[in-house]
Each structure stands twice: as C-alpha cells, then as structure tokens.
Amino acid sequence: MSFRILAKTMRPERGFLCVVLVIVLLSGCASSGGVYHTVGEGETLWRISHAYGVNIQDVAEINNIDDPAKVRAGQRIFIPGARKARKVTPYKPSRKLPSVKDGEEAGKEETKIVKEKGRFSWPVKGEMISPFGAREDGMHAGIDIKAREGTPVIASSDGDVAYSGGMAGYGNVIILKHPGNYFTVYAHNEKNLVKIRDNVKRGEEIALVGKSGNATTAHLHFEIRQGRKPRNPLFFLP
C-alpha cells in the first residue's frame, strides 16, 4: 500500500501525523549518497553543478556556500546524489581585453543562489556548534545551537503545531507547519510547551532547551524543511 493511500485510510489526525513523521524520518532523502569534487582552476559553482546535473541551490546549501565568488581552486565540494567524479569545463575569459560581455557571462553563472534571509527567526540565542550539510556518517539535516538547559525555545515563524512528542533520536521534538509547505523542527527539548493543533506566533515560547534523545549536551537541533526536503537554515535566518 502506498503512503498516499495509507494516509487516506487513516483518521485525519493520524493521517496528518503520518505525513509529519515521514518528513522527519526521511532525513536522508535529500542526500542519497554523493561524492566530493575538488575545484580546479577556472571552475565556477555553476559549471560544477551543471557538469554533475544537480541544482546549484542544493550544492550551495549543503556546502554552506552563500557567495559563489568565494569558491576557490583546491576547495572540496560535496555533490549530493553523484556517483563518481566528473570533468568540469573551466570558464575561460576572452584573451582580448576584458569586455562588458565577458563580465556579463561570468555574472550570469554566479547569480543563481537564492537566500531568503529573515523568512524565519533564530529559535534560540547561542553558538552554532554543528552546521547543516554532509558528514562522514551521513547528512546533518539541520543546525545545532548550544544553549543552557531550560532556555526558552521560540517559534521561528507563525504556524500550526503539527507534532509535539517524543521521537527516536530526536528526544522531545516539536514540528511546526508554515505557509508555503515549510516545516520547522525543534529537537532534544527538555520540555515541550505546546500541543498538536495549537496555533503559534513568531517569537512565542514553544519549548525549553534540553538534551533528550541522542544528545550529550544541552542544545537545540533546528531544521527547516520544504516538504520533506531539508533546507539550510542559514539561508533563511537573519
């Protein structure tokens, strides 16, 4: 039975919960393997992404590249979904004196990164101790923010509480659903302060920082997802 059919046969509350759980449990969906590419002379992020047939936005987010101009020869970039290294055709400006056309061509390659700074707010103040992106043991689908145990966690944007409870690995977790098919995930909480179906406003306290689940120190694991696809929170936070 497909997930879609299964959801239709369940009560609305259970069907919705099933959708939410799939969003969280399929953390690896956005990263079905991949390879590291070492940037060569003249290779731009656009040309690398094009050579591998992957979305430049995905490459930028998973590698925390918010400015394509910062990509340098010798840098290792993780290419999600790729199975083997590929050859990349480097950008070679005209040998004649630089022209406006040359500048425009290079510029077009480097204006593909979309950032929505401020769409969501920081859920807690603290040092980011683990970034979004590829790890040796798999994909880290969010960021970890260190904070004192018991520190209030706030809603990153207006939304509805899609889930509030325990989950393997995540400990006490809250999932909020936002317009645009966005979800935010708040995990390892000491205590959840909201319940399923509650409507919350940006800045409202929804939990307390803890170290429940697979956490060795008090911190908040925070994710932003579009559908079931993890997005890099740093591209959305102010």
Residue predicted with more confidence, 91 or 75: 75
Domain with CATH 2.70.70.10 in the chain: 127-235
Tell me which CATH code domain 31-109 carries. Answer: 3.10.350.10
Do 218 and 148 form a contact (C-beta atoms < 8 A)?
Answer: yes
For 67-75, the CB contacts below 8 A with 24+ separation are 67/113, 68/44, 68/109, 68/110, 68/112, 68/113, 69/110, 71/39, 71/43, 71/44, 71/45, 72/39, 73/39, 73/40, 73/41, 73/42, 73/43, 74/38, 74/39, 75/38, 75/39
d(CA 202, CA 67): 28
Domain with CATH 3.10.350.10 in the chain: 31-109
Give mean pLDDT, residues 81-106. 69
Give mean pLDDT, residues 143-159. 98
DSSP string, 169-233: TTEEEEEEEETTTEEEEEEEEEEE---TT-EE-TT-EEEEEB-TTT-SSSEEEEEEEETTEEE-G
CA angle 111, 117, 119 (to 5 degrees): 125
Question: What are the tens digits of pLDDT across the range 176-233?
Answer: 999 999 999 999 999 999 999 999 999 999 999 999 999 999 999 999 999 989 999 9
Tell me which CATH code domain 127-235 carries. Answer: 2.70.70.10
Query: What are 80's strand-pairing partners?
Result: 34
Residue 7: is its pLDDT beyond 50?
no
